[in-house]
Amino acid sequence: MADRDGQGDAASPWTEQEREVLSEAVGAAPSVHNTQPWTLVLREYLAELHPRQVDLLDEHDPRGRDRAMSFGAALTNLLVAVRHLGRLPHVERAAEPDGEPATAKITTTRQATPSVVDERRFAAIERRRSYRGAFAGGPVTDAERDTLRTAAGLGPDETHWITGGAEALAVARSLAYAARVLHADAEYQRELAHWIVRQDATGEPTPGAGIPENALGRQGLPAVGLVTEHTKLPDESLLASRIEHDSVLVLCGGTDSTVDHVRIGEALQSVWLEATAGGLAVSVMTQPLRLEEVRKAVTEQLGLAGIPHAFMRFGRTA
Ligand SMILES: Cc1cc2nc3c(=O)[nH]c(=O)nc-3n(C[C@H](O)[C@H](O)[C@H](O)COP(=O)(O)O)c2cc1C
């Protein structure tokens, strides 16, 4: 078949139904403050994911790290959905100016039966949510931890489970410090207030429209994971015991580049889908890592070989 839209092998144009599946999958991806900093463009044979600028994010995300990680999360959903449709995706990343994620251009070459893993993750796309409440059921098992770590698909030095009282206390101190700094930062709080919205009638976040105020965490890690002017500042030892009780995974990258941020975002979403498929509840936080001194302290406290980019917290709701 002749090359069309960069398409070099026997595949048909996207059908209307396929377009809907891809759009819905991308629209269900998590993003910093639910800003959805991407645009999906579906051409006849191509799916393109473009980065999108977002106003009122400079205080929270001056380096664009969270935007790039969100872009990576959306890319994971897109690729899972393409495979669910029985197509084999090929990703080409077009060069972008410094600091912007590269536009991902996806062609498909042939019909391919989706794997069990793809189908499991695809089914989790619409069920995945941030859960910032307290956990209720038993601890996450070692086998579940192994599954989640494997799902990240990162190098051995790029994931770290916070383990034991000493690590939990050290991290609690850093997070409590970050909470105090961000709580007192008027400019930061003004910007964040723009993204905290009233819940709509369904109780679901509206894609791209900020975080419903009732989805915020009131205690423990989720409360220090998104500190608003109304957040009650935590007691460090109580926070440490909650961190020890929850299962908290740190995702690290070898560099602080946009390429790495996108890659970590892709990994984060693969882990999130796998956890959702396995019946675990999840919340993610990057907010404290916005402070350079916190990134540095967490790196030292946990003896990380890479740069910490995100915390993921897992547990059961019943
Ligand atoms: C890169 C990235 C960073 C995030 N950082 C935080 C955070 O620091 N604190 C937090 O509570 N939620 C954080 N989130 C979760 C988003 O707020 C959430 O995905 C978004 O509001 C949509 O809600 P949902 O996950 O329930 O679909 C982050 C998500 C992503 C993808």
69 lines ligand 1 (CB under 6 A): yes
285 lines ligand 1 (CB under 6 A): yes
**CA–CA separation, 51 vs 214, rounded Å?**
29
Residue 66: predicted pLDDT: 97
Ligand 1: nearest atom to the Cα of 69: 1
Ligand 1 centroid – CA 265 distance (Å): 11
According to CATH, the topology of domain 16-125 is: NADH Oxidase (3.40.109)
CB 33 within 8 A of CB 228: no
**CA–CA separation, 160 vs 144, rounded Å?**
14
Q: Do domains 16-125 and 142-315 have the same CATH topology?
A: yes
261 lines ligand 1 (CB under 6 A): no
Delimit the domains of the chain by residue range.
16-125, 142-315
pLDDT block averages, 10 residues each, the chain of length 318: 48 94 98 97 96 91 95 98 96 85 93 94 97 90 97 96 96 96 94 86 74 86 88 90 93 95 98 98 96 97 97 94
CB-based burial label for 55 (10 Å; 0-12, 13-18, 19+): exposed
Residue 293: predicted pLDDT: 97
Establish whether this prediction's ipTM goes over 0.90: yes
Ligand 1 centroid – CA 287 distance (Å): 9
Residue 224: predicted pLDDT: 87
Name the residue of 33, 125, 204, 227 whose CB sits within 8 Å of the most ligand 1 atoms, as the mutation to test its pocket.
33
CB burial of 67-95 (b: ≥16 within 10 Å; e: otherwise) equals bbbbbbbbbbbbbbbbbbbebebeeeeee
Residue 150: predicted pLDDT: 97
Residue 219: predicted pLDDT: 80
Please state whether beta strands 211-212 and 196-197 pair in parallel, antiparallel, or not at all (unpaired): parallel
211 lines ligand 1 (CB under 6 A): yes
Which residues fall within 8 angstroms of residue 216, CB to CB, at 6 or more apart? 132, 196, 222, 223, 226, 228
CATH of region 142-315: 3.40.109.10
